[in-house]
Amino acid sequence: MKFVVDANVLFSALIKQGTSIEILLNPFFSFYSPDFAYEEFLEHGNEVINKTHRDAEDFIEIDRTLKETINFTSVNYYKDKLPDAMNLALDKDDIDYFALALKLGCCIWSNDKKMKEQDKVIVYSTKELVDEFELG
């Protein structure tokens, strides 16, 4: 099953060892995210290292795992869906996630409650994914 995953879920999975990382590594799911989410991860690399008490080698391993687990997607792929996404997103930072989900015809994995305030794209929180798919 395909999901667009937002950057906050990615950071949460990397910082807190637990359910989110287990979901990301579950082969039943395919994950997608806009390219900028990966760029954001790289920009905040030192913060990730500090919060997780890991070293640079661990960061390299996390980076490799992210690239193997998530299909980071260029805006060129979903740009035709941006106008529709602008009508769905209450927060401009969420437009790309909605556009990518519309393009892929899939759900979004996010713990942002604002993203649920529309009726075109299903948005699952981590808890809802665990409950729905009997994970954890």
Tens-digit pLDDT profile for residues 51-103: 777 777 877 887 888 889 999 999 999 999 999 999 999 999 999 999 999 99
Can you give the CATH number for the domain in which 6 is found? 3.40.50.1010
Q: Is the pTM of this model over 0.75?
A: yes
Provide the pLDDT confidence category of residue 15 given band limits of 50, 70 and 90: confident
Residues present in the chain in total = 136
How many separate domains does the chain show?
1
Alpha helices in the chain (DSSP H): 7-15, 19-24, 35-43, 45-52, 56-69, 75-78, 82-88, 95-104, 126-132
How far apart are alpha carbons 88 and 68 in whole angstroms?
30
The parent domain of residue 31 ranges over: 2-132
The CA-CA-CA angle for residues 10, 60, 22, to 5°, reads 40
13 pLDDT above the threshold of 90: no
pLDDT at 110 over 90: yes
